[in-house]
Structure 1
Amino acid sequence: MFSQLINKQQWIIEDAGRKSFREGMEKAEVIINLQPSILIRKKRIITRYIKQKIGLEDCLYRPSLRMLKFMFRALYDYETGRNDLDLRLNQYRDKTITLRNSRDTEEYILNVTK
């Protein structure tokens, strides 16, 4: 199913650290690496957990304290480089764009839509 998707003319995928997405990175015209501050990411994890817990946001898993802990462990792995994202992205430097904040994102969207 993944191969069918990336063989289409236009597609967008999200890579949350899955090494199986290597083929997607190879075929992508542009790789956008979102890097908001750690404070924003922590806030988003907690906000998402609360919304899921009270039923304001759907999810494919049970929003438990165990899952919350898993999300913070994934954040730690990202921050320390244990998820190997930098190594995987390094191969595609020429087509990777890193956006760190709203201003970066807005500028990128304006430039792409010109």
Structure 2
Amino acid sequence: MKPKKIHIIGSVGSGKTTFARRLSKKMNIAHYELDNVVWNRRENEDVHDVKRSSQERDEYFFKIVNVDAWIVEGVHSVDWVIKSFERADVIIFLDINYFIRIYRIIRRFLLQKLGREKVNYVPSFKIFWKMFKWNRLFEKEKSEILKKIYTYNSNLVILSDNKAVENYIEGIRWQ
């Protein structure tokens, strides 16, 4: 059966957004970044993004997970995303090697600073440093995150490298 509701979770630098975009294009299903659920993005550079209230965030997220097909991606494993875990046909956990994620964080930051990669935030050294902290924290909390996911949904797929990601994209039943 072709999954129509997919939740992708992984650390910063694990490839969640790239993977979600590729699945979205191939499956013709809208994808949503959880960071963009938390933050109301502003196109005007003079006005910074505004964090949604808990109620606004929850209402927006509820609309997303109550349609027939979606791809949601983000590192979040907090209570407000539980509806996604419960409703997902499959949850994909990107368990990419810690050092590969570090390399990707550094590469991304350099590309953003050079203006060669689009970003929803100002790529400051403060954010750059936080990404390393988030990466380390994710590694420490990985087993707890997996337990939480499995509590709400046993349809869990763990992908641990680029080859596994490619095999998943190519092997998923599209009919």
Same-fold status (TM-score > 0.5): yes
**Structure 1 position 102, deviation (Å):** 2.0
Runs of 5+ consecutive residues of structure 1 not aligned to the other structure: none
- Percent identical among aligned pairs is 28
For the residues of structure 2 that align with 1:104 and 1:97, how far apart are their CA atoms?
A: 10
What are the within-5 Å matches in structure 2 for residues 1-114 of structure 1? 1-19=60-78, 20-81=80-141, 84-92=144-152, 94-113=154-173
> Between Structure 1 and Structure 2, which shows a larger proportion of helix residues?
1
2-side partners of 1:91 and 1:37: how far apart?
24
TM normalised by structure 1 equals: 0.88
Q: Give the SS at the match of 1:91.
A: helix
Question: Counterpart of 1:13 in structure 2: which amino acid?
Answer: V
Is the 1:33–1:96 Cα contact (8 Å) retained in structure 2? yes
Q: Is the 8 A contact 2:113 2:123 kept in 1?
A: yes
Q: Structure 1 residues 22 and 93, CA, compared in 2 at 3 Å: closer, same or farther?
A: closer
**Alpha-carbon spacing, 1:50–1:75, altered in 2? closer, same or farther (3 Å):** same
Runs of 4+ in 1 over 6 A off after TM superposition: none
Corresponding letter in the other structure for 1:10: A
Which residue identity lines up with residue 40 of structure 1 in the other structure?
A: I
Q: How far off is 1:82 after superposition?
A: 7.3
Instruction: State the superposition RMSD in angstroms.
Output: 1.9
Contact 1:15 1:21 in 2 (8 A): no
Q: More strand per residue: 1 or 2?
A: 2
Distance in 1 (alpha carbons) for counterparts of 2:91 and 2:150? 11
1: CA distance between counterparts of 2:155 and 2:116?
36
Whether the 8 Å CA contact 2:96–2:161 is kept in 1: the answer is: yes
Aligned length: 114
Q: Give the drift of 1:93.
A: 5.7
Task: Give the TM-score, by structure 2 length.
Answer: 0.59
